[in-house]
């Protein structure tokens, strides 16, 4: 459990992130992260450049307040985003 919480930062409220902080695209990226897809795989499927996919992932990590894709997946599940 400590490993899963290692990259988590405190949140004001889960509802704030779910309702107002993540847009539809970021919620979609959160879903992709739970399936352990890398930005390069996302870019092919979503028909965008790998650089654009990486930017979306980075923005989603920032909005979720985490430092890694694995921790973002955990937070997305905890917030009920996926």
Name all contacts of 57-62 with Cβ < 8 Å and 24+ positions apart: 57/29, 57/33, 59/26, 60/22, 60/26, 60/29, 60/30, 60/33
pLDDT score for 19:
46
pLDDT score for 40:
85
pLDDT score for 14:
55
Residue whose tokens read 């979306």: 56
pLDDT score for 34:
84
Whether pTM > 0.85 for this model: the answer is no
Output the tens digit of pLDDT for each of the chain's 82 residues.
445 455 555 444 455 454 447 788 888 888 888 888 888 888 888 888 889 888 888 988 888 888 898 898 888 888 887 7
């Amino acid at each position: 459990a400590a490993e899963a919480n290692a990259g988590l930062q405190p949140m004001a409220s889960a509802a704030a992130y779910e309702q107002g902080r993540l847009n539809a695209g970021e919620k979609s990226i959160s879903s992709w992260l739970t399936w352990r897809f890398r930005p390069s795989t996302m870019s092919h499927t979503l028909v965008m450049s790998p650089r654009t996919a990486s930017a979306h992932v980075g923005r989603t990590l920032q909005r979720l307040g985490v430092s890694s894709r694995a921790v973002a997946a955990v937070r997305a599940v905890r917030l009920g985003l996926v």
